[in-house]
Structure 1
Amino acid sequence: MSALTALYGRERELRRLGDFLDRAAHGHPELLVVGGQAGVGKSRLLLDAAHRARRRGFTVLQHHGSELRGSAGAALRDAVGQAGPPPLIVVDDAEPGSADTLFDLIRSTGRAARPPVPVLLARSASTGGLDPAAEASWEGAGGPPAAGLELAPLDGEAVRELVADLLAVAPQPALLDVAACANGNPRLIVELLEGLREEGRISPDGELVRVTPGRLPARVQAAVAGLLRQLSRESAQLLRVGTVLGRTFQLSQAAAMLGTSTAALLPALDETLTTGVLRLTDEGVTFQQPLLWRAVFEAIPPSVRSTLHEEARRLVPGHDLPARDLASLGRQGAARAKPGSAADDGAGVTGALATLLGSGYVESALLLARSALNGPLPRGEAATLRRVVLDLVMVGTGGAPDGFGPVGAEQARAAVDRLHDGGPEARRAAATALAGLRWSEGRVGEALRSGAAAVGQPVTPDTAAERAYPRVAQARRLICAGEPDAARALVARVLADTPAGPLAVFGPAAGLVRAEAHVRAGELAEAEHAAREVLAVLDAREAAAAGGPATLQAWALSTLCRVAVRRGDTAGAAAQLARLREFGPEVTELAPVPAAWLELVLAHAQGEHLAATALLTGPGRHLPSLRPLHLAEPGAAAWFVRFSRTAGNPEPGQAALRTAELLAAANPDIPSLQTAALHARALFECDPDGLTRAAAEHTDAWAAACAASDLRTLLGERGSSAAGRGRTWLVREHAGRYAVVDTAREPVGAEAGVAGWEELGGTERTIAALVADGLTNGEVAGAVHLSPHTVNYYLRRIYAKLGIHSRVELARLALSAPRRMLSP
């Protein structure tokens, strides 16, 4: 298959598309929005999806985003309006508002009264993401639930396969280093290698011919020139100045060279982030690919480049320039990349905010966050930005009662006026917002340090309000981090310093922090009393037209719902959740626990497993990986593993387990996170010792009770499965789901399977033995020093040789095979 038409490293995405088509075929369609940087393969993925859909009998209607308002849009409307099963609509390069346009077309046909139409959109690189307003319009009017699928750059194994197929020979190390310049972007890899081959710079055996190493192929230069022409003048200027400052530079440095302010560069920064040319890390603004860094550098006329270089050297002594040799440039980029690191999590708007807040640009951070909220954003990032805006405004305005979220334009302007001078209030606001941002990223230690800095800023009688809000926010974080005594001390200071007047709003907030501490301790009666007391005060304020803060009302209702769920009172939980739904997402998402989580847990507790599954494949798809949820609910990861076991769907459990273990690894000093990861892993591995430890070490009463229950269930399952039988063991099929294998049962295909062992090579036997022992592909990869992709390839060969189709069958054959056949 040609490298121009093949898909590489997209197994996860193809599984998601298969699930999308399955759901559509069974009457549960979705609006699936595919995103990613330019050239990452969105269009190619849509072509594959359309091909698969046609093979399954779908009528596929394919269009470009620019065609929806013309004659093609009318033709699409007519096709959708025809009788028969709903078609599949595929739109590539969707523009802002494409979802709304499609919805209007479908509604004009009268189709809205019939089963919803499945839609697959690939947004253009200039579009920010899934538009929450469009999502609400679809779902609110009976359309399909909306979800996103983000395409990441290719990993090293996929890049190697692409290069090998493109050149039809095994690539040599130097050529792979050159390909690394594209940082996993398939279009750039193809353009680069095709350009080198056209210019005779790749030998027939896949070696790099080092001719004129100091320049890029003309084909790449033309592609980058086209990219720069598509950007605004300001964005192109930012890139040209940035490439001289280094692959990673500070926005303030670029502003100084351009003779403007940092705030004035924010629109250009937003455009370059959205198109995937730049990304934001803790170190500053970074070119996404070393290749683009080099290409933009070469596109500057030499005389201008020299002048800019001299100016950059005065501003940033020792700044780096792109390496002249392409292989060295690729190695340099690979050495600086840190996949899975915290820096990677800083990409996008949240990374820009962290940079601005850390540099003291509070006013610019507030303007950027509000600007980003006016456009399309992923669900989790929108909640994070709303929290940042609330933090900045609450400190900046002194905490007026009607300012406790959501934030209006007038309050934002007032905060900007108060924070522009960079004084103690601005530093307190920056530290408060940065603490919230780090918390949303799962960096607990950094969040607590920033929160302590906010609380510790100098205070006068006139700034008592600005200090009250950081104390409340820090107290809530301390409870989640397992420091309730420190939290209670902060709450006591809030109540002592803010007795009445405009500060009275912090009394209920402090009461809700106390209620949170009671919930964690398992003191449910005390938690309910505190939450109802707060809710009564807020309801009375609302009845008196005094403007009861909606965010605090949602927080109180969320607490009462959690209490009811933990008691097993599903009717009471449903009543509180129904009232919570009356608030919009801009309010409920600011509560400590998302409303979607409460809805999911309640549906499962009520035995509505189909409804719970629908939530996790639709609007709640992000929950298993939502870090603030895992911080607020230490038992969440184990709950998702348990859910995967009963639902037969491994994805939520695997995603939650990975998130819990990443949080534990990033926060080794937070015992509650270590125990949460231990609990989820022990449940995943059916490890009674781990569950025993988790039940003893959990500081959250509900999580501890769940661990004890998981232990009893596991021991009961093992006792029943082993009764009256011979040798038995449990083999993992996927997260939290196991099959009992025993010698008392005849292995499937035993004779053929044992004979097949003779055909296995040494590596195949080793991998087969490890898989039969219950190891995952990732664990096997670590044991045999291969990539998970290669292990999966070997496993398919093993299945074919043994005539089997699953890990369970492999384990049964392993029980019957002579020991000598399991040795390499």
Structure 2
Amino acid sequence: MTRSGLRGREAELEELEALIASVAHTGSGGLVLIQGEPGIGKTTLLSEVVARAATAGFSVALGKADELHHIVPLSSLTACILHGDQPLLSGDAFVDLPRKHDQRIWLVERLAEAIENRAGSMPVLIALDDVQWADPLSRFALKQLPTRLRTSPVLWMLTARREPAGPADEVVAASIGNLRTVTVPLGPLSGAAIDQLAGDELGAAVDGQVRDLLDGAGGNPFLAVEMLAGVRTTPDGLVPEGLVVGVRGRLRSLQPRTLRFLQMGAVLGRRFGFQDAAALCGQSTATLIAALEEAVRAGLLDDDGDHLVFRHDLLRQAVYADIPPSARKALHRDAARRLVSAGHQPIDVVPHILRGALPRDEEAVALLRRAADDVLPVTPGLAADLMTRALELVPSAQPLTFAVGEQAILCLTRAGRNREALSAGDRLLACRPPLETFSRLQAALGETLWNMDLTDELRRRAETALTIGGAAPEIEARLAALRALALSRDNDLVAAREAGEAALRTATAAGDRESRLLALFGLGEIAQNAGENAVALERFDALSAVDPAFLPEEIVAHQHVDDFESSERLLLRATDNARAMRQAMMLWAQGGHDLGLGHLDDADAGFATMERLEDDVQVPVQQVNARVIRSTIALLRGDRTAARQHLAAAQQRLAAKPTPGNTAAVRFLEAVHAEADGDIGLAVDKVRQVQLEGSFMRWRLLRTRVDCAIRIALRGADRTLAEDLAAQAEAHAERNPAVPTALGIAAQSLGLVKNDLGMLEHSVELLKASPRPLVRATAYADLGQALLTAGRRPEAVAALTHARGMFAASGAHAAVAHVQRDLDGAGNGGRRAATPDRPVQGWEALTASEKRIAHLVAEGHTNRSAAELLVVSPHTINTHLTSVFHKLSVNSRVQLANLVTALPDC
């Protein structure tokens, strides 16, 4: 590292050194983007900063993205974290990933844990050069990790060319507001700095002729150095204008064999293997040693012992630009073949395929298909892009076309691009494929149509394909299972169950795992929609035994039968096998667990985290329902502002995904808000709409909220609606005779409708066996009000006091205040339980969960170890910690530990 590379960058270097010192001192994270045109000195400055950070005691990781490897998953970050003297992860950390579901979230968390562990003993600097060429998975990780690790001494340092709305800007935008972000723009060097640079290179004072020549560099240090190299090597001292022309001048003196060798290297990329370039030249490595030596002497290549590297990518681009376009295309096709024959993975050669493939190139199509299959678990969007390109290359209406199309449908659907998948499938079906192929394509579109909630269309297509016949046994089994799944949204659930059972028998006979999963999932959905929770649990238990990724469905099914002990046990098991889980759905299950047990703070954080993860992977599934629940939680807490914000968000997301379930959930939430606002007429209308959405929605939506709907109906003097709701609760209890919550709510509902004090007392007795404190508290509150009306004041006070205590323990402050008003009315004001408003800043602003996590982090726990102790997701811990840092105005774990240690009770 010479000083010449830093001429004119003293101010920038000082700013970056100060940031390094700040991260080391405060223990908080940061992100830097060094931005500028090619050759402006970004790499040189980055290398110097990395060296100084290492001297300052940082664990450093330095990597560089490559233009011709910009699609290989995690290749950019891998250069940082898996290489070097002290790699953050071992090279086998990401092997054998489950292929059925998206693994991006798991991968990012695995990276975060490794970096966090290293940062626990020393500050960490992760530097990545040329982020504009980072692969999609690395870009995804870079948008998550800086924020995820903001509480640790981790400094991210990136360089990129100036590109409006490019990858680098996306990374910075994701971090702004969450941690300290700094952009360092590098402009042209001053004339004085260029003169110093020239003196360094030439070893003499710069004369007027050289200074005039250097004006053509425009203050770009790389171009200036290249011109100075020309001054040293060109006899007449003249340097042609433009880098490409200048490089041509330098190449002109090279042997033809050396020039061809460099061109083959330029096709392969900035970093390439000697053997690969020799093979592309059609010569042995022995015959090209002289060419290699000449290229290194000319300052065009560096040799690190494992690979050859163009000294700057601008040099590679200049050599590459001198190859005729038609020759480039042919060379890329040849490079793809030779790299595959040399043992490279398909994804490694895809950049060459994309540049060199011609229509009807079946070899290229085969490689694209293999590459798409390899990357599907970690970059489904890339897999979809590759298959879309493969579909463009194959001839239409040929057997290969339909096979490629089926794979394209799968990849597009997995990437959440359902409309594209359906369009591609319909185009293929319009080509009148053979009957067996027709059935395969319709089966492939099943998940697409389910995701789009086009259940009537799914049923029609499945039935059409089954009627036409000609399908292979496993495809016929899948179609039958898809038909049953579509029928789960129909009003005739008896027929749906019969179809599901028949589909399961067909799947078992066919020995097809996929159709068995579909049939079990459909039967679980049918049972849930029929309100038969024990049957649903049986189905989802069998489903998760076949595929552990469906464990969230089993966990939720346990919650519906009041088995929270098994729910917690399975949540712990999921933590041990996180890579097999669907992370967002697991958070949904965790949120339901916390909500059921009255842990409102944990539930709210869990659902917020789930929504963020769904946003990250751009596959929204439960966002509407999550916002509905969070709005309900906010109402229970007494935060009307947050409740309205969540309602607005739910309404907005409903417009994008207006499924029957989403519609009913939002309508009921609107009813609750209308009642809180005093518009009881509107509230009753909304509840009535929910009841009309379809019979199955009654069981799924109101299994624990039917009492609330009945109160709204009674307040609105709609006794018919109230009686209908009570009958619904009674029918649900009959379907679930072993579930205390169902039995207790049925009795509570009947007591409310009939104004039956004895039935309300019975409901409280039944609910003593329920693990749901908020349900018990509501029943006690209803009983207390009825006892007050009956003039039984002492018993009323006892019941209301019970209700108040349970609401308070859950943090349901609005419910506490409501019960307290009843207690005041009973003359119990002297024993009033104060529920002061929680401050917005400071230690007392923290929720109980946030305080627990703050103590654990202060004791030295990582997100992972804290999550294991509290039986929550590390993602949820991060959500809590972000809130803790904001409320306490701290920026690092060190500052948090100091603050907690100074508390009087510590």
Would you call these one fold, judging by a TM-score over 0.5? no
TM-score by length of 2: 0.37
Taking structure 1 as the reference length, the TM-score comes to 0.39
Greater RCO between the two (CA within 8 Å, min separation 6)? Answer: 2
| Larger relative helix fraction | 2
Quick check: which has more Rg, 1 or 2? 2
